[in-house]
Structure 1
Amino acid sequence: MATLVLTVVGGLVGGPIGAAVGALAGQQIDRNVLFAPKGRQGPRLTELALQTSSYGTPIAHVFGTMRIGGCVIWSTDLIESRATSRSGKGQPSVTNYSYSASFAVALSGRAISGVGRIWADGKLLRGSAGDFKTSTGFRLHLGGEDQAVDPLIASAEGGLAPAHRGIAYAVFEHLQLADFGNRIPSLTFEVIGDAAPVPAGAIAAAVSGGLVRGDVALTLPGFAAYGDARGVLELLGAASGAWFVPEGRTIVLRDGTSANDTLDDAGLGAGDLPGLRGVRTLGAIEAVPQTVTIAHYDAARDYQRGLQRARRPGAGHRAAEIELPASVSADMAKTIAERELARGEAGRERRTLAMGWDALGVLPGACVRIAGTPGVYRVARWSFEQSVLRLECVRLAGATAPARASPGRALPAPDILTGRTILHAFEIPPLDDTVLSAPRLIVAAAGTAPGWRQAALLYSLDDGARWLTAGATAGVATVGVLAGRPGAASANVIDLINQIEINLAHAGMALNGADDVALDAGANIALLGEELIQFGDATQISQSRWRLSRLLRGRRGTEAAIGLQQAGDRFILIEADAALAIELPLTSIGTTVRFLASGIGDAAGPIGATAAVRGGSVLPLAPVHLWVDAQASGDLLIRWVRRSRAGWRWIDGAETPLAEENEAYRVTLRTASGIGRTVETALPELLLAASERAAIVSIEVRQAGLHGESPASAIALPAM
């Protein structure tokens, strides 16, 4: 009689799928898919983590959510851009060069549902909120069979541009390369193949084209099927503790220890084959790995590579490692390792049974019990010879309790939101003793979130008809708004009465106090509405709210703005590294300058601001200390003290520098009806004759400078 032998071989990532295909006698299974000659096997974690750009590189099929490197499938040469800016009239121009690149990266060989975070050289390029940390255009093609050609690739390649249907890929348009050494960085992507974890059986069915069905409990949060189908299927079998069973015209991936049959070989043809009844063998312990290590990706650690190990006591030195291209937790990886080790130990025990014709339905891969023997066995080999059915059975391990494991220290890349740009432009006197020859505006910028760093800046002197580049904004300024209206105070003494509450732009900003020495040196100077203040104490009230006290008010000639602020007015801490100075032509005095800023968080459009140029940076300061000295003759001697934009500090024994071409004043004499006449004088005094005194009720004094007059200081005259 003919002999028929069917086999299902088990083992630690050995060759079970090939054996299962061989067991399907007379069935038509695509051996090019499932039983191709061994060459490239399953995925390796290092291959998934690195970006490639080589022809013939396999593209992973992503299930669940995984972090992968992808493959560059199209790119342009580096694109050089240059921008010339000039800080002011008469200043040399500066040409700045920048580089960008446009390219496409294939992400998955099957359709996906989206992309989460993106890393560039290990740092976040795109955060979990979808915000980019570096300026770039970005488009994602999900890999549908009807997806259109990318417009950028089409414009570069013309009619030859492929649509890459069935392949999910990302296109970066003009990715700025300054942060990456002017080269395309190594990118990795959090690819969302499916919105939920995927059963291992569903993955097996997908990679085999439906030739393998899955009946296993293992569910993977993320998996990258990379390499040939056979290697992927065997890896899934090892990870799930399952085996391949021929069933009809397909193969089933099966796990579990539930037995449908209990076998007893006593007296069933065994006499014809002596020595086969209940034969038990026990393999050497050295054949079982002493340690099993699972290498995996750990989503809790930004998909960094993790290692979990299971170890058994006893003899032997063999070690086994499974590279699992899956996103699993440390606990799950440890459980897989423990289960694989238990499978190896249980599999040492084998039993051979001799059965009669009535057991022909017990096929390879079936789970059975053996009468009088504890435990469950898997039928690994089935042979029928001389009317006797011979079954070779392998002991199955019992259920493995879930393991607990430490994932190790997490070192995630900071994911700081960028936010939109906050832009302020204003004119103030210089904060040192520099005497400017042209008006100067200060630009301070920040963002609504801590990740903001810089924005490109344009300005217009003609109401937007023509725009000039100012390069980029300076460092991140500390900005906010006034929470309530501050009280009035004198500019001549420290304000110990009023307190000012400020809401900063976000909780990442902070203020610090300063002692009297630091205040005297110019520390903690800020613009509050139109008033320059200094504060000695800063107390945090809540995450972004601060209370300022021990104040110096009306600094640098801004005493006219004291107490005029309203809630919501601007607060800007003025620091040298966060202030961009823009010098303007003299003809701009009396006009308004427009600004536009565009940062990487300003996808909705650039941020605008305006600044009125009143000349406060180049004009003399209003005189102070006006007083009236009545003469015996009835005349009035009006005197005042001039101030200088080149001498802010009070230095005893030294005259304040003039800082103008000559000393000159324009005095306006006003009557009760408001009508006045102007008198010019070169001295800080004016003698008002008794004959004129009756008609004049007030006097305004302005210092004349090279570029215009100062604001007025006024005094009312005493009645006669």
Structure 2
Amino acid sequence: MATLVLTTIGSVIGGPIGGAIGALLGQTIDRDVLFKPKGREGPRLTELAVQTSSYGMPIQRVFGTMRIAGCVIWSTDLIESRSTASSGKGQPSVTNYSYSASFAVALSGRPIRSVGRIWADGNLLRGGAGDFKVSTGFRLHLGGEDQDADPLIASAEGAGLVPAHRGIAYAVFESLQLADYGNRIPSLTFEVIADPAPVAAGAIAADLSGGLIDGAAATLPLPGFAAYGNLRAVIETLGTAIGGRFAPEGAGLSLRVSIDPERTIADAGVATGAGGGARAVGSTAAIETVPRTVTLKHYDPARDYQTGVQRARRPGAGYSDQQIDMPAALDAASAKTMAEATLARAEAGRVRRTVALGWDAIGIAPGACVAIDGAAGAWRVTGWSLEHMVLSLECVRLAAAALPVRASGGRVLSSPDAVAGTTIVHVFEIPPLDDSVLSAPRVTIAAAGTAPGWRRAALLYSLDGGARWSTAGATAAPATLGVLASVPLAVPATVIDRRSRFEVELAHANMALSGADAAALDAGANLALCGDELLQFGVAEQIGATRWRLSTLYRGRRGTEAAIGTQAVGDRVVLIERDAVMALDVPLATLGGEVRVLASGIGDVAGPAAAQTTIAGGSVLPLAPVGLRWRELGDGGAEIRWTRRSRAGWRWIDGVDSPLVEERELYRVTIGTAPAAETSEPMLNLGAAERGAGVTVSIRQVGSVGASTAANLFIPAWEA
């Protein structure tokens, strides 16, 4: 800077006096030539909030912790992926397209330590725990002078053709999924941690000036600061906001904030002419020269670093407003205090005084803080002149140190930051929830996460033991699920179970259950798969953060009465809700085989969640007959009757038989160990010889694709 150069030259030519004169000449050149203001006080906060991608854009230098946007320095074209999924038997397949992109964003022109949260279009992309809300690869280069080129960029552009960007911290996203952002690269902002603790304002000034400014005295801590654009304007903004002043010191400048006088001077007056004595010269500027308000904009950490505004106002005349864009992370109270202090300094600065001293006081340079005999307060030297061996100092009154004030940053509207956790997936075969009649098996898939932030997972399924995998799209909305902490009693499905009270442990505390009255249960509410039994519960009591006690049960729903009493602690519990489960139709040839499912969500860094089930036919086979009964025929024989059930509807309709949805009505009856026989009516006569000493009769309904499970009835020996 000219000040430093001319100070050195002046000292060489004229000693201490010449050095001081050179310093003043240099300051004039700095102010009016080299560093002449160009109509702005410093960086605008919007420059740190809007992501850029223009060649030649400056990169901010980050101190402490700040939220900044950065500049895209490399990207690929959009990468298109497609998957085909079936909508069900007889329906055309659907091809889904998705898009991703890989790109790099420069964050800081000086090394950093880490990156915390990341926002995409204002919503959290990466949470405080380091979890991403959208699938992406991510690498962070800290800006060290020994960092290597990013491997992805090098592979795309060619080895040896990619700079390592040493000294620049940047982030690389690999295959960021863009569906949530309109299939475009979103506007990203980053919580950049450059230093582990707040940084002193003086240390920032020293770093930005390359050591030419000694800021040891300016100890005001700033939680975060981003230097962007013209460095002189940034340093001036920093000095103005903290009430600092710059003074020559050695080969550089010092940033001073203390208002304790360095020395006391006596005003010898200003000569009025030959034999005329001396007089003191002072002035007070009109109040209109002081801003009516000082508006300070800053980044508020309590509001996810959104722009905060604090104002200081004074009474009296005037209309002007001073606006300071402070690219720093400040809480509301600190920003309000800074604005009030700036206004107080402006008011105190109305009072000016010219002091005349002997030439031996020439060492008092601009920027010095002095006390003046007979004048209250401390004064800052702003001007210096030497004429006829009389040193004239232009002085401005300094304001007293500002006391902390209280302020509010306004309502906090932070983006939700819920961790996704890992995926939990269950696959099972139950009758269709819409009472439709299927001709091929259907499995049902329900999934959720171990934490509340889980939303979806991509699905793959295999019908051949994992040799080949097909895509099945994405899971439905998060299901309410968990495990059995205790088991219900073995109570028949023909009565309301008021004896059982069993407990379930849900996957996380944000999941909840609720009770239902008889009308709601009749309409199908609170249907849950517990182990392999479908049941409904009328009462749900929360007894812990994730534990619930269920009672008033309807058992063995939708033909699952055979599973009553088979549960064990740790078995699955899934609340069956239409929007929380998805259906996967599989070929009829898989009946008796196995379906495997893999579910991969954004939190499944260790690998996808897996589940499997055997296709036993619960979605396509007829139901076992019910109401088995017999009566004596008088000759040792017995008449057996039963009631047919239908998979076309599950509600009891008085006076109307359930519809037959199979190709024909047919039953397969096995008497003891004899070969099975078939009948087309829901009855059978048993002869005395067949009855013998007592025999078990098994009855299955034969449907379009197979037979139901057996309904058994024991017929004792005939007593004449």
Query: 1:640 is paired with a residue of what secondary structure?
Result: strand
Give matches, 1:412-431, under 5 Å. Answer: 412-431=414-433
TM-score computed with the length of structure 2 as normaliser: 0.92
What residue identity is the alignment partner of 1:681? T
What residue identity is the alignment partner of 1:141? H
Give matches, 1:520-531, under 5 Å. Answer: 520-531=522-533
Closer, same or farther: CA 638–21 of 1 in aligned 2, 3 Å: farther
Deviation of 1:625 after TM superposition, in Å, equals 1.9
1:205 is aligned to 206
Quick check: 2:693–2:716 contact (8 Å CA) kept in 1? no
Query: 1:687 is paired with a residue of what secondary structure?
Result: strand
Query: 5+ residue gaps in structure 1?
Result: 1-5, 8-19
Query: 2:399 is paired with a residue of what secondary structure?
Result: coil
1:58 is aligned to 58
Quick check: 1:270–1:388 contact (8 Å CA) kept in 2? no
1:167 is aligned to 168
Q: Which has the higher contact order (CA 8 A, sep 6+)?
A: 1
1:401 is aligned to 403
2:580 is aligned to 578
Deviation of 1:269 after TM superposition, in Å, equals 9.0
What residue identity is the alignment partner of 2:244? A
Closer, same or farther: CA 176–481 of 1 in aligned 2, 3 Å: same
1:685 is aligned to 683
Closer, same or farther: CA 513–347 of 1 in aligned 2, 3 Å: same
Closer, same or farther: CA 268–341 of 1 in aligned 2, 3 Å: closer
Q: How far apart, in 2, do the equivalents of 1:609 and 1:704 lie? A: 30
Q: Deviations over 1:271-300 (max 9, x none)?
A: 989675432222222111121111111110
What residue identity is the alignment partner of 1:583? D
Quick check: 1:480–1:504 contact (8 Å CA) kept in 2? yes
What residue identity is the alignment partner of 1:67? R
2:645 is aligned to 643
Give matches, 1:416-565, under 5 Å. Answer: 416-565=418-567
Q: How far apart, in 2, do the equivalents of 1:605 and 1:567 lie? A: 26
Name which of structure 1's ranges 69-78 and 513-522 shifts more when overlaid on structure 2: 513-522
- 2:238 aligned with 1:239, yes or no? no
Give matches, 1:74-113, under 5 Å. Answer: 74-88=74-88, 90-113=90-113
2:634 is aligned to 632
2:697 is aligned to 699
Name which of structure 1's ranges 487-496 and 107-116 shifts more when overlaid on structure 2: 487-496
What residue identity is the alignment partner of 2:629? W
Query: 5+ residue gaps in structure 2?
Result: 1-5, 8-18
What residue identity is the alignment partner of 2:177? Q
Quick check: 1:75–1:102 contact (8 Å CA) kept in 2? yes
Q: How far apart, in 1, do the equivalents of 2:668 and 2:68 lie? A: 75
Q: How far apart, in 1, do the equivalents of 2:239 and 2:284 lie? A: 24
Quick check: 1:27–1:249 contact (8 Å CA) kept in 2? no
Name which of structure 1's ranges 70-79 and 642-651 shifts more when overlaid on structure 2: 642-651
Deviation of 1:37 after TM superposition, in Å, equals 5.3
Q: How far apart, in 1, do the equivalents of 2:318 and 2:88 lie? A: 79
Quick check: 1:143–1:169 contact (8 Å CA) kept in 2? yes
Q: How far apart, in 1, do the equivalents of 2:206 and 2:495 lie? A: 82
Q: How far apart, in 1, do the equivalents of 2:693 and 2:651 lie? A: 39
Query: 1:160 is paired with a residue of what secondary structure?
Result: coil
Closer, same or farther: CA 471–163 of 1 in aligned 2, 3 Å: same
Quick check: 2:694–2:717 contact (8 Å CA) kept in 1? no
Name which of structure 1's ranges 413-422 and 268-277 shifts more when overlaid on structure 2: 268-277
Q: How far apart, in 1, do the equivalents of 2:379 and 2:435 lie? A: 93
Q: How far apart, in 2, do the equivalents of 1:693 and 1:332 lie? A: 95
Q: How far apart, in 1, do the equivalents of 2:77 and 2:593 lie? A: 44
- 2:183 aligned with 1:182, yes or no? yes
Deviation of 1:21 after TM superposition, in Å, equals 12
Quick check: 2:271–2:277 contact (8 Å CA) kept in 1? no
- 2:144 aligned with 1:140, yes or no? no
Q: Deviations over 1:215-243 (max 9, x none)?
A: 21321111110011110110111011010
What residue identity is the alignment partner of 2:613? A
Give matches, 1:372-391, under 5 Å. Answer: 372-391=374-393
Q: How far apart, in 1, do the equivalents of 2:566 and 2:273 lie? A: 113
Closer, same or farther: CA 128–256 of 1 in aligned 2, 3 Å: same
Q: How far apart, in 1, do the equivalents of 2:389 and 2:244 lie? A: 31
Closer, same or farther: CA 647–122 of 1 in aligned 2, 3 Å: closer
Closer, same or farther: CA 26–266 of 1 in aligned 2, 3 Å: closer
2:330 is aligned to 328
Query: 1:333 is paired with a residue of what secondary structure?
Result: helix
TM-score computed with the length of structure 1 as normaliser: 0.92
Quick check: 2:30–2:36 contact (8 Å CA) kept in 1? no
Deviation of 1:501 after TM superposition, in Å, equals 2.3
Q: How far apart, in 2, do the equivalents of 1:637 and 1:165 lie? A: 92
Quick check: 1:297–1:304 contact (8 Å CA) kept in 2? yes
1:24 is aligned to 23
Q: How far apart, in 2, do the equivalents of 1:175 and 1:529 lie? A: 38
Q: How far apart, in 2, do the equivalents of 1:83 and 1:267 lie? A: 90
Quick check: 2:359–2:386 contact (8 Å CA) kept in 1? no
Q: Deviations over 1:315-366 (max 9, x none)?
A: 2222111110111011111111111111111112222222224423333222
Give matches, 1:588-627, under 5 Å. Answer: 588-627=590-629
Deviation of 1:574 after TM superposition, in Å, equals 1.1
2:3 is aligned to none
Quick check: 2:283–2:352 contact (8 Å CA) kept in 1? yes
Give matches, 1:299-314, under 5 Å. Answer: 299-314=301-316
CA-atom RMSD in angstroms: 2.5
1:349 is aligned to 351
What residue identity is the alignment partner of 2:167? G
Give matches, 1:262-341, under 5 Å. Answer: 262-266=264-268, 277-341=279-343
What residue identity is the alignment partner of 2:94? V
Closer, same or farther: CA 275–191 of 1 in aligned 2, 3 Å: farther
Closer, same or farther: CA 678–293 of 1 in aligned 2, 3 Å: same
